[in-house]
């Protein structure tokens, strides 16, 4: 079995991982980064990115990630395709194993595996991803100005997304499978008071339709009851707001997580409960989940690693 030694192993890519690789490589740490299941992270399934500083004309998520990736490699980061399938943080150096059977011994680790949006499980979701389907209203809402959109979900996140979109879109439909909202009372009232938000209670999404782009959703009202009714809702955008799942399963034995599976960090730092292991990006951020905040935390993690290694030389 092949084995590798590194001062810093970065697990996962995206804006957090690539930025961490950029900063650690410029500090002559020569990091080793494994890109994971989705090289470039969730941003690679977003078509247009207009809110990342430095791109006045906008760019695509894929191009943005490729730019940061190339920048990290330019300064000496070792970026490899592959998935870390197993870790052991009980000893130093830390141990990790790749899906190719390579064992890595690392003096420090940055976890940047991100969080995956939860989907309804419809085949159409992937078909129209980036073509009308989105899991981030803040990222993509601007493209639906004066258009009709729908948000799926009944919690605080769904209500927040619906309210955000209501300031951009002409009409917002909040699709709720139950007969009530799970959001806080204040959030519920804000949604119900907004004139261009219509809440569709007791409604499930059966599918999506459209030629080249999303054109609408197939909905079922009062499913499984005598009042069951099927209808189509013409919309331009379909936003999923049923939660995110942080990609932390392989770390849970060693790393302290919150009740939703996000990595807990110490104070304003990116340090975890295991000294020498740091977390950056959406894997430790249930609140903001933006490319720029992920990149910023990747920078912080790299600086934390640099200080850690200097103090343990």
Residue 1's pLDDT is: 57
Cβ count within 10 A of residue 115:
23
Q: Are 214 and 208 in contact (CB under 8 A)?
A: yes
**Nearest alpha carbon to residue 220 among 209, 235, 210, 231:** 231
CA angle 34, 137, 237 (to 5 degrees): 110
> What are phi and psi for residue 216, nearest 5 degrees?
175, 180
pTM of the model: 0.76
> By the 8 A CB rule, do 91 and 263 touch?
no
Q: Write out the catalytic residue numbers.
A: 136, 139-140
**Cα(24)–Cα(31) distance, rounded to whole angstroms?**
6
Q: What is the pLDDT of residue 244?
A: 82
Q: Give the mean pLDDT of the chain.
A: 93
| pLDDT tens digits along 22-67 | 999 999 999 999 998 888 777 776 667 888 999 999 898 889 999 9
Task: Render pLDDT for 93-108 as a digit per residue (tens, 0 to 9).
Answer: 999 999 999 999 999 9
pLDDT category of residue 114 using cuts at 50, 70 and 90? very high
Phi then psi for 14, rounded to 5 degrees? 70, -175
pLDDT digits (tens, 9 = 90+) for 200-252: 999 999 999 999 999 999 999 999 999 999 999 999 999 998 888 899 999 99
At 132-189, the pLDDT tens digits run: 999 888 788 899 999 999 999 998 889 989 999 999 999 999 999 999 998 889 889 9
User: Could you give the dihedral angle defined by the CA atoms of residues 236, 120, 212 and 38, in that order, rounded to the nearest 10 degrees?
Assistant: 120
Alpha-carbon torsion 273, 300, 34, 112, what sign?
positive
CA torsion 205→208→214→215, rounded to 10°? -90
């Amino acid at each position: 079995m092949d084995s590798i030694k590194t001062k810093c192993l970065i697990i996962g890519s995206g804006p957090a991982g690539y930025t961490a690789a950029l900063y650690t490589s410029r500090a002559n740490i020569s990091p080793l980064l494994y890109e994971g299941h989705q090289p470039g992270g969730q941003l690679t399934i977003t078509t247009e990115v207009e809110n990342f500083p430095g791109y006045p004309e906008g760019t695509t998520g894929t191009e943005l990630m490729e730019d940061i990736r190339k920048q990290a490699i330019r300064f000496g980061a070792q970026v490899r395709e592959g998935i870390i399938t197993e870790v052991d943080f009980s000893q130093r150096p830390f141990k990790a194993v790749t899906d190719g059977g390579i064992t890595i011994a690392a003096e420090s680790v940055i976890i940047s595996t991100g969080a995956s949006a939860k989907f309804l499980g419809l085949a159409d979701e992937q078909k129209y991803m980036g073509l009308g389907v989105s899991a981030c209203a803040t990222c993509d809402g601007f493209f639906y100005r004066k258009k009709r959109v729908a948000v799926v979900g009944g919690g605080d996140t769904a209500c927040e997304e619906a309210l955000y979109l209501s300031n951009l879109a002409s009409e917002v439909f909040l699709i709720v499978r139950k007969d009530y909202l799970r959001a806080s009372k204040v959030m519920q009232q804000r949604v119900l008071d907004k004139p261009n938000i219509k809440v569709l209670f007791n409604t499930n999404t059966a599918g999506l339709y459209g030629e080249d782009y999303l054109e609408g959703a197939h909905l079922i009202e009062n499913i499984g009851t005598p009042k069951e009714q099927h209808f189509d809702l013409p919309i331009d955008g379909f936003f999923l707001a049923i939660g995110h799942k942080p990609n932390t399963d392989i770390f849970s034995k060693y790393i302290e997580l919150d009740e939703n599976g996000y990595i807990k960090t110490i104070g304003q730092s990116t340090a975890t409960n295991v000294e020498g292991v740091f977390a950056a990006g959406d894997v430790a951020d249930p609140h903001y989940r933006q490319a720029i905040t992920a990149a910023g935390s990747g920078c912080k993690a790299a600086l934390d690693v640099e200080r850690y290694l200097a103090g343990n030389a």
